[in-house]
Structures are given as C-alpha cells and as structure tokens.
Amino acid sequence: MMNPNRSHSLRTLTFCALLVAMSIVFSRVLSISTGFLRFNLGSLPVVLAAVLFGPGAGFAVGALADAIGGVLAGYAINPLITLGAGAVGFFAGWGWRHLPARRENVRLAGGILLGHMVGSMMLNSLALRLFYGYAWAVLAARIPNALILAGAEFVLVRILLENHALMTAARGSHTGRRSQ
C-alpha cells in the first residue's frame, strides 16, 4: 500500500504541474497584448496553486510557468521577471493564509492584491525599467491592468473554490466517495 503522505505529495505535484501548463497556455496563447500591456489570465493558475497548496507552491508554479513559457516563446529568462511571477503566487498564498481578516473573501482579495502589488506592479515593472528602459510614467499604466486582473482572478478563484469536485481532487479528500 502506498504511503498516504507520498500519495498526497504526488497529487500536489501533479496538480501543480497541470497548473504550470495552464498558466503557460493562458499567458502565451490566450493573451491580448497592446505593446507593454498584456491582458491574460496566466496568474490565475498561480493564485489557485497558492490558495490550494500554499505560498511555496504558488511561487514554484509562477516561476516555473514564467521560465518555461519564456523559453518556449524563444525569450531569454529574465530572473527579475521570473521572480515577479513567483512573487504573485507566494504573496497570494501568504495573504490567504496569514492576513488577519476573518472573512475568506477579504483574505483572498487581500492576498491576490498583495501578490500583484509585489510581483506585477513592483518587481515586473522594475525589471521592465532596468532591463528594457521603459519610462516610469509608461509603467504606471500597468497599475490599472494589474488591478483588473486581480479582480478577475478573485472572482474566478472564488468560483473554483466552490467547486467541490475540484477541491476534493486537489486536496485528496475521500469524503463523499461511495464505499466499496
């Protein structure tokens, strides 16, 4: 019989790998780009990993998806942008678990917003400034973009968290199964 902890770790690793793949597809294929602004839901799987499995998983999914997606698109890996992608997941998961709000919606919204503030607005904008010379005034346009994405991700993650089949599969809970 398989060790229950090993089974749980394998389930988590499998889900995180699927979330990395989803993030790459959402970022690279299902994307609307207007020069330096991109609207896509590539961070949605990152935030979902952070909420389901914790800040470390959120960071790993974000960083791996950015690095792999960049290589697949023919770009060199920019460590600061990859750090920003990971930071979205880390801070979303940290906020979800540690913000003092009692209501789940407030913790979730705060975590997602914190993740985008640190990862998207600060680290990625800094990388665009340092490595590609974008003016700070131009980068300010990224703020509403990040806020809109954070709002969309909040709504979609709330819907996904209500999906009991998804939650059961992700967490490995055996409740609700028929006995054999």
Identify the CATH number of the domain in which residue 59 sits.
1.10.1760.20
CB 83 within 8 A of CB 64: no
pLDDT in tens, 4-49: 567 678 889 999 999 999 999 998 887 777 765 678 899 999 999 9
Task: Compute how many other C-beta atoms are within 10 angstroms of the C-beta atom of residue 121.
Answer: 20
Domain span including residue 85: 4-29+42-171
Total number of domains in the chain: 1
Average pLDDT over residues 105-109: 94
Is 140 within the bounds of a domain? yes
Split at pLDDT 50, 70, 90, the class of 2 is: low
**Can you list the alpha helix ranges (DSSP code H) found in the chain?**
4-28, 43-53, 55-72, 79-98, 104-115, 125-132, 136-139, 142-161, 164-171
Separation CA 69–CA 75 (nearest Å)? 9
Is 177 within the bounds of a domain? no
pTM of the shown model? 0.86
Give the pLDDT score at 36. 58
